[in-house]
Amino acid sequence: MNLYAKHIFTPNGASSLARTSAVLITLFSIVGMSNAEEVESAAPGVVPIEQGEDDLLCGIKKAICYSGFRAGQHPDRGSGAVNPSDAEVFEDLQILSRDGNFKLIRLYDSQVNSEAVLRMIKEHDLDIKVLLGAWLDAEVSNPACPWHPEPYSDDVLESNKQKNVVEIARAIKLANDYPEIVAAVAVGNEALVIWNDHMVPVESVIAYVRQVKGAVQQPVTVADNYDWWAKHGQALAEELDFVSVHIYPLWEGKDIDEAIAFGAANMQAVRDALPDSQLVITEAGWATVASEFGPRADEEKQMRYYNELFDWAGEMNITTFFFEAFDESWKGDPNNPAGAEKHWGVFNEDRTTKLVMDSLYPDLVPEAVAE
Protein backbone atom coordinates (compact mmCIF):
# COMPACT_ATOMS: atom_id res chain seq x y z
CA MET A 1 0.00 0.00 0.00
CA ASN A 2 2.45 2.65 -1.13
CA LEU A 3 0.07 4.82 -2.96
CA TYR A 4 -1.55 4.08 0.18
CA ALA A 5 0.10 5.55 3.07
CA LYS A 6 1.73 2.51 4.46
CA HIS A 7 4.97 3.67 2.98
CA ILE A 8 5.04 7.19 4.17
CA PHE A 9 7.88 5.71 6.17
CA THR A 10 9.76 2.97 4.41
CA PRO A 11 11.30 0.14 6.42
CA ASN A 12 14.78 1.63 6.23
CA GLY A 13 13.90 5.16 6.92
CA ALA A 14 12.81 7.21 3.91
CA SER A 15 10.16 9.54 5.31
CA SER A 16 7.50 11.70 3.70
CA LEU A 17 5.98 13.65 6.54
CA ALA A 18 5.02 16.41 4.19
CA ARG A 19 2.36 14.23 2.67
CA THR A 20 -1.01 15.45 3.82
CA SER A 21 -4.56 14.26 3.68
CA ALA A 22 -5.29 16.90 1.05
CA VAL A 23 -2.55 15.50 -1.18
CA LEU A 24 -3.89 11.98 -0.75
CA ILE A 25 -7.45 12.95 -1.56
CA THR A 26 -6.30 14.93 -4.60
CA LEU A 27 -4.16 12.04 -5.78
CA PHE A 28 -6.94 9.53 -5.58
CA SER A 29 -9.42 11.89 -7.15
CA ILE A 30 -7.14 12.34 -10.17
CA VAL A 31 -5.35 8.99 -10.46
CA GLY A 32 -7.37 6.47 -8.51
CA MET A 33 -10.76 7.48 -9.80
CA SER A 34 -9.57 7.67 -13.37
CA ASN A 35 -8.31 4.12 -12.94
CA ALA A 36 -11.67 3.14 -11.51
CA GLU A 37 -13.49 4.68 -14.47
CA GLU A 38 -11.26 2.78 -16.89
CA VAL A 39 -11.91 -0.49 -15.11
CA GLU A 40 -15.64 0.06 -14.86
CA SER A 41 -16.00 1.15 -18.49
CA ALA A 42 -13.90 -1.69 -19.87
CA ALA A 43 -15.52 -4.54 -21.72
CA PRO A 44 -16.22 -7.60 -19.55
CA GLY A 45 -13.21 -9.86 -19.15
CA VAL A 46 -12.98 -12.81 -21.45
CA VAL A 47 -10.53 -14.75 -19.29
CA PRO A 48 -11.99 -16.24 -16.11
CA ILE A 49 -10.48 -14.94 -12.87
CA GLU A 50 -11.03 -18.25 -11.12
CA GLN A 51 -7.96 -20.37 -10.58
CA GLY A 52 -7.46 -23.97 -9.55
CA GLU A 53 -6.67 -25.05 -6.01
CA ASP A 54 -3.11 -25.75 -7.14
CA ASP A 55 -2.69 -22.01 -7.67
CA LEU A 56 -3.10 -21.27 -3.97
CA LEU A 57 0.14 -20.31 -2.21
CA CYS A 58 0.90 -23.13 0.25
CA GLY A 59 -2.65 -24.34 -0.38
CA ILE A 60 -3.87 -21.46 1.83
CA LYS A 61 -6.68 -19.04 1.00
CA LYS A 62 -6.61 -16.68 4.01
CA ALA A 63 -3.36 -14.88 4.91
CA ILE A 64 -2.32 -11.64 6.59
CA CYS A 65 0.32 -8.90 6.34
CA TYR A 66 2.41 -8.51 9.48
CA SER A 67 4.67 -5.82 10.90
CA GLY A 68 5.49 -5.92 14.59
CA PHE A 69 6.17 -2.29 15.52
CA ARG A 70 4.23 -1.28 18.63
CA ALA A 71 3.64 2.05 20.36
CA GLY A 72 6.93 3.95 20.59
CA GLN A 73 8.65 1.60 18.14
CA HIS A 74 9.60 2.35 14.54
CA PRO A 75 12.00 1.44 11.75
CA ASP A 76 15.18 3.39 11.20
CA ARG A 77 14.25 6.90 10.09
CA GLY A 78 17.86 7.99 9.94
CA SER A 79 18.72 7.97 13.64
CA GLY A 80 18.22 4.32 14.45
CA ALA A 81 15.34 1.92 14.84
CA VAL A 82 13.35 0.96 17.91
CA ASN A 83 12.56 -2.68 17.25
CA PRO A 84 10.16 -5.07 18.96
CA SER A 85 11.77 -7.64 21.21
CA ASP A 86 11.86 -11.35 20.46
CA ALA A 87 9.26 -11.84 23.19
CA GLU A 88 6.93 -9.32 21.54
CA VAL A 89 7.39 -10.92 18.14
CA PHE A 90 6.67 -14.35 19.63
CA GLU A 91 3.52 -13.00 21.30
CA ASP A 92 2.30 -11.67 17.96
CA LEU A 93 2.97 -14.93 16.19
CA GLN A 94 1.15 -16.89 18.89
CA ILE A 95 -1.86 -14.62 18.43
CA LEU A 96 -1.90 -14.90 14.66
CA SER A 97 -1.36 -18.66 14.54
CA ARG A 98 -3.81 -19.52 17.33
CA ASP A 99 -6.20 -22.28 16.28
CA GLY A 100 -4.73 -22.12 12.80
CA ASN A 101 -6.33 -18.73 12.15
CA PHE A 102 -3.41 -17.42 10.08
CA LYS A 103 -0.91 -19.94 8.79
CA LEU A 104 0.60 -17.64 6.17
CA ILE A 105 1.95 -14.13 6.81
CA ARG A 106 3.65 -11.51 4.69
CA LEU A 107 6.81 -9.62 5.67
CA TYR A 108 8.05 -6.61 3.74
CA ASP A 109 11.82 -6.76 4.07
CA SER A 110 14.71 -9.00 5.03
CA GLN A 111 16.10 -6.95 7.87
CA VAL A 112 16.43 -7.48 11.63
CA ASN A 113 12.75 -7.80 12.44
CA SER A 114 12.06 -10.23 9.63
CA GLU A 115 14.92 -12.42 10.72
CA ALA A 116 13.47 -12.39 14.25
CA VAL A 117 10.10 -13.53 12.91
CA LEU A 118 11.65 -16.45 11.08
CA ARG A 119 13.79 -17.35 14.08
CA MET A 120 10.81 -17.31 16.47
CA ILE A 121 8.78 -19.49 14.12
CA LYS A 122 11.59 -22.03 13.96
CA GLU A 123 12.53 -21.97 17.65
CA HIS A 124 8.93 -22.42 18.77
CA ASP A 125 7.89 -24.75 15.94
CA LEU A 126 4.94 -22.54 14.97
CA ASP A 127 2.66 -23.55 12.13
CA ILE A 128 3.30 -20.45 10.02
CA LYS A 129 4.70 -19.98 6.52
CA VAL A 130 6.12 -16.64 5.35
CA LEU A 131 6.05 -14.63 2.15
CA LEU A 132 9.38 -12.90 2.66
CA GLY A 133 10.04 -9.45 1.22
CA ALA A 134 13.11 -7.73 -0.15
CA TRP A 135 12.57 -3.99 0.20
CA LEU A 136 13.83 -1.87 -2.71
CA ASP A 137 14.67 1.81 -2.25
CA ALA A 138 14.50 4.43 -4.99
CA GLU A 139 17.01 3.98 -7.80
CA VAL A 140 15.54 6.84 -9.85
CA SER A 141 13.75 10.04 -8.90
CA ASN A 142 10.01 10.18 -9.51
CA PRO A 143 8.64 13.67 -10.14
CA ALA A 144 5.14 12.16 -10.38
CA CYS A 145 5.19 11.27 -6.68
CA PRO A 146 2.87 13.85 -5.07
CA TRP A 147 4.56 13.82 -1.67
CA HIS A 148 8.17 13.65 -2.90
CA PRO A 149 8.40 15.31 -6.33
CA GLU A 150 11.88 16.71 -5.66
CA PRO A 151 14.71 14.71 -7.27
CA TYR A 152 17.01 12.63 -5.12
CA SER A 153 20.68 13.48 -5.36
CA ASP A 154 23.00 11.21 -7.32
CA ASP A 155 24.67 10.26 -4.04
CA VAL A 156 21.37 9.18 -2.50
CA LEU A 157 20.41 7.12 -5.54
CA GLU A 158 23.79 5.42 -5.63
CA SER A 159 23.58 4.70 -1.92
CA ASN A 160 20.12 3.24 -2.42
CA LYS A 161 21.39 0.94 -5.17
CA GLN A 162 24.02 -0.38 -2.79
CA LYS A 163 21.37 -0.86 -0.09
CA ASN A 164 19.26 -2.79 -2.55
CA VAL A 165 22.15 -5.08 -3.41
CA VAL A 166 22.63 -5.82 0.28
CA GLU A 167 18.88 -6.32 0.80
CA ILE A 168 18.66 -8.81 -2.05
CA ALA A 169 21.58 -10.73 -0.54
CA ARG A 170 19.83 -10.76 2.85
CA ALA A 171 16.63 -12.08 1.31
CA ILE A 172 18.51 -14.86 -0.43
CA LYS A 173 20.27 -15.79 2.80
CA LEU A 174 17.08 -15.86 4.86
CA ALA A 175 15.24 -17.90 2.24
CA ASN A 176 18.07 -20.42 2.28
CA ASP A 177 18.50 -20.38 6.06
CA TYR A 178 14.76 -21.01 6.62
CA PRO A 179 13.70 -23.11 3.63
CA GLU A 180 10.85 -24.83 5.49
CA ILE A 181 9.34 -21.51 6.60
CA VAL A 182 9.88 -19.12 3.70
CA ALA A 183 7.21 -20.05 1.17
CA ALA A 184 8.13 -17.43 -1.44
CA VAL A 185 10.15 -14.25 -1.88
CA ALA A 186 8.72 -10.90 -3.04
CA VAL A 187 11.28 -8.66 -4.72
CA GLY A 188 10.19 -5.10 -4.06
CA ASN A 189 6.87 -3.65 -3.00
CA GLU A 190 5.09 -1.03 -5.10
CA ALA A 191 8.41 0.11 -6.52
CA LEU A 192 7.01 0.40 -10.04
CA VAL A 193 3.67 2.20 -9.89
CA ILE A 194 3.75 5.82 -11.03
CA TRP A 195 3.02 7.54 -7.72
CA ASN A 196 5.63 5.95 -5.45
CA ASP A 197 8.59 7.57 -3.71
CA HIS A 198 10.93 4.58 -4.12
CA MET A 199 10.84 3.90 -7.83
CA VAL A 200 13.04 1.25 -9.39
CA PRO A 201 13.20 0.76 -13.17
CA VAL A 202 11.48 -2.40 -14.30
CA GLU A 203 14.71 -3.55 -15.94
CA SER A 204 16.43 -3.43 -12.55
CA VAL A 205 13.58 -5.27 -10.87
CA ILE A 206 13.82 -8.00 -13.51
CA ALA A 207 17.57 -8.28 -12.87
CA TYR A 208 16.96 -8.63 -9.12
CA VAL A 209 14.26 -11.23 -9.76
CA ARG A 210 16.62 -13.27 -11.91
CA GLN A 211 19.30 -13.05 -9.22
CA VAL A 212 16.93 -14.29 -6.52
CA LYS A 213 15.48 -17.03 -8.70
CA GLY A 214 18.97 -18.29 -9.41
CA ALA A 215 19.83 -18.49 -5.72
CA VAL A 216 16.72 -19.82 -3.91
CA GLN A 217 14.40 -22.78 -4.28
CA GLN A 218 11.21 -20.89 -3.41
CA PRO A 219 8.88 -19.19 -5.89
CA VAL A 220 9.70 -15.54 -6.61
CA THR A 221 7.21 -12.71 -7.12
CA VAL A 222 6.90 -8.91 -7.23
CA ALA A 223 4.11 -6.98 -5.46
CA ASP A 224 2.44 -3.96 -7.02
CA ASN A 225 -0.82 -2.15 -7.64
CA TYR A 226 -3.39 -3.80 -9.91
CA ASP A 227 -3.37 -0.91 -12.38
CA TRP A 228 0.36 -1.22 -13.03
CA TRP A 229 0.05 -4.94 -13.63
CA ALA A 230 -2.90 -4.47 -15.98
CA LYS A 231 -1.21 -1.77 -18.05
CA HIS A 232 2.51 -2.52 -17.89
CA GLY A 233 3.09 -5.90 -16.28
CA GLN A 234 3.52 -8.40 -19.09
CA ALA A 235 7.33 -8.46 -19.39
CA LEU A 236 7.85 -8.69 -15.65
CA ALA A 237 5.10 -11.27 -15.17
CA GLU A 238 6.88 -13.59 -17.58
CA GLU A 239 9.85 -13.67 -15.19
CA LEU A 240 7.79 -14.56 -12.11
CA ASP A 241 6.41 -17.69 -10.53
CA PHE A 242 3.28 -15.75 -9.58
CA VAL A 243 2.04 -12.15 -9.73
CA SER A 244 1.27 -10.30 -6.47
CA VAL A 245 -1.54 -7.75 -6.77
CA HIS A 246 -2.76 -4.95 -4.48
CA ILE A 247 -6.36 -3.74 -4.48
CA TYR A 248 -7.81 -0.97 -2.28
CA PRO A 249 -11.38 0.08 -3.05
CA LEU A 250 -11.43 2.33 0.01
CA TRP A 251 -8.50 4.39 -1.28
CA GLU A 252 -10.24 4.76 -4.63
CA GLY A 253 -13.36 6.39 -3.28
CA LYS A 254 -15.52 3.30 -2.86
CA ASP A 255 -17.79 2.56 0.08
CA ILE A 256 -18.51 -0.91 1.35
CA ASP A 257 -21.46 -1.68 -0.94
CA GLU A 258 -19.21 -1.27 -4.01
CA ALA A 259 -16.02 -2.72 -2.62
CA ILE A 260 -16.12 -6.36 -3.69
CA ALA A 261 -17.40 -5.67 -7.20
CA PHE A 262 -14.75 -2.99 -7.67
CA GLY A 263 -11.96 -5.24 -6.44
CA ALA A 264 -13.19 -8.05 -8.66
CA ALA A 265 -13.05 -5.64 -11.63
CA ASN A 266 -9.48 -4.74 -10.63
CA MET A 267 -8.52 -8.41 -10.64
CA GLN A 268 -10.33 -9.00 -13.94
CA ALA A 269 -8.22 -6.25 -15.52
CA VAL A 270 -5.08 -8.02 -14.34
CA ARG A 271 -6.34 -11.40 -15.49
CA ASP A 272 -7.19 -10.05 -18.94
CA ALA A 273 -3.70 -8.55 -19.27
CA LEU A 274 -1.90 -11.58 -17.81
CA PRO A 275 -4.06 -14.57 -18.73
CA ASP A 276 -1.35 -17.15 -18.03
CA SER A 277 -0.16 -15.82 -14.66
CA GLN A 278 -0.90 -17.30 -11.26
CA LEU A 279 -2.38 -14.47 -9.17
CA VAL A 280 -2.11 -13.75 -5.45
CA ILE A 281 -3.64 -10.73 -3.70
CA THR A 282 -0.86 -9.57 -1.41
CA GLU A 283 -2.68 -6.53 -0.07
CA ALA A 284 -6.35 -5.70 0.40
CA GLY A 285 -7.80 -4.09 3.50
CA TRP A 286 -10.16 -1.61 5.12
CA ALA A 287 -9.16 1.11 7.58
CA THR A 288 -11.21 1.52 10.75
CA VAL A 289 -10.32 5.19 11.43
CA ALA A 290 -9.24 7.69 8.78
CA SER A 291 -9.47 11.43 8.55
CA GLU A 292 -9.12 10.90 4.79
CA PHE A 293 -12.21 8.69 4.50
CA GLY A 294 -14.63 9.96 7.14
CA PRO A 295 -17.50 7.55 7.89
CA ARG A 296 -16.40 5.11 5.18
CA ALA A 297 -13.76 3.90 7.64
CA ASP A 298 -15.12 1.97 10.61
CA GLU A 299 -14.94 -1.42 12.27
CA GLU A 300 -18.29 -2.68 10.99
CA LYS A 301 -17.28 -1.99 7.41
CA GLN A 302 -13.87 -3.57 7.96
CA MET A 303 -15.57 -6.72 9.24
CA ARG A 304 -17.93 -6.84 6.28
CA TYR A 305 -15.10 -6.29 3.78
CA TYR A 306 -12.93 -8.93 5.45
CA ASN A 307 -15.69 -11.55 5.30
CA GLU A 308 -16.91 -10.73 1.80
CA LEU A 309 -13.38 -10.46 0.39
CA PHE A 310 -12.34 -13.85 1.71
CA ASP A 311 -15.61 -15.40 0.54
CA TRP A 312 -15.04 -14.08 -2.98
CA ALA A 313 -11.29 -14.81 -3.12
CA GLY A 314 -11.88 -18.27 -1.69
CA GLU A 315 -14.33 -19.05 -4.48
CA MET A 316 -11.75 -17.79 -6.99
CA ASN A 317 -8.91 -19.83 -5.39
CA ILE A 318 -6.81 -16.69 -4.97
CA THR A 319 -4.60 -16.61 -1.88
CA THR A 320 -5.32 -13.25 -0.23
CA PHE A 321 -3.28 -11.36 2.35
CA PHE A 322 -5.42 -8.97 4.37
CA PHE A 323 -3.71 -5.70 5.24
CA GLU A 324 -2.92 -5.82 8.09
CA ALA A 325 -2.55 -7.63 11.41
CA PHE A 326 -1.95 -4.80 13.91
CA ASP A 327 -2.39 -1.03 13.89
CA GLU A 328 0.91 0.86 13.64
CA SER A 329 1.00 4.37 15.05
CA TRP A 330 4.53 5.08 13.76
CA LYS A 331 3.23 5.43 10.21
CA GLY A 332 2.19 8.64 8.56
CA ASP A 333 1.98 12.13 9.98
CA PRO A 334 2.73 12.09 13.72
CA ASN A 335 0.52 15.16 14.09
CA ASN A 336 -2.53 13.34 12.74
CA PRO A 337 -3.42 10.40 15.00
CA ALA A 338 -6.55 9.79 12.90
CA GLY A 339 -4.57 9.33 9.69
CA ALA A 340 -5.54 6.22 7.74
CA GLU A 341 -1.98 4.92 7.67
CA LYS A 342 -2.19 4.04 11.34
CA HIS A 343 -5.50 2.14 11.40
CA TRP A 344 -5.59 -0.80 8.99
CA GLY A 345 -5.09 -3.53 11.61
CA VAL A 346 -7.62 -6.19 12.50
CA PHE A 347 -6.13 -5.82 15.98
CA ASN A 348 -5.44 -2.61 17.85
CA GLU A 349 -1.86 -1.62 18.52
CA ASP A 350 -2.17 -2.91 22.10
CA ARG A 351 -3.06 -6.36 20.66
CA THR A 352 -6.71 -6.19 21.66
CA THR A 353 -9.22 -7.11 18.99
CA LYS A 354 -11.25 -5.01 16.65
CA LEU A 355 -14.76 -6.13 15.84
CA VAL A 356 -13.70 -8.46 13.02
CA MET A 357 -11.56 -10.57 15.37
CA ASP A 358 -13.79 -10.55 18.46
CA SER A 359 -15.32 -13.98 17.90
CA LEU A 360 -11.96 -15.65 17.21
CA TYR A 361 -10.20 -14.06 20.20
CA PRO A 362 -12.79 -13.48 22.95
CA ASP A 363 -10.04 -13.14 25.57
CA LEU A 364 -8.50 -10.24 23.61
CA VAL A 365 -11.69 -8.19 23.26
CA PRO A 366 -10.88 -4.82 24.89
CA GLU A 367 -13.57 -5.24 27.56
CA ALA A 368 -12.28 -8.68 28.48
CA VAL A 369 -8.69 -7.47 28.69
CA ALA A 370 -9.75 -4.53 30.86
CA GLU A 371 -11.34 -6.91 33.34
Does 261 score more than 70 pLDDT?
yes
Greater confidence (178 vs 1) lies with: 178
Residues 6+ apart with CB under 8 A from 81: 74, 75, 112
Does 319 score more than 90 pLDDT?
yes
Question: What is the DSSP code string of 27-92?
Answer: HIIIIIHHHHHHHHHSPPPSS-----GGGSGGG-SEEEE-----TT-B--SSS--BPPPHHHHHHH
The predicted structure's pLDDT at residue 12: 35
Model pLDDT for residues 176-232, shown as the tens digit of each residue? 999 999 999 999 999 999 999 999 999 999 999 999 999 999 999 999 999 999 999
Q: What is the mean pLDDT of residues 308-324?
A: 98
The predicted structure's pLDDT at residue 76: 83
Residues 6+ apart with CB under 8 A from 87: none
Number of structural domains found in the chain: 1
Residue 96 sits in a domain whose CATH number is 3.20.20.80
Model pLDDT for residues 51-91, shown as the tens digit of each residue? 999 999 999 999 999 999 999 999 987 778 999 999 999 99
Range of the domain at 295: 5-370
The predicted structure's pLDDT at residue 45: 57
What is the pTM assigned to this prediction? Answer: 0.90
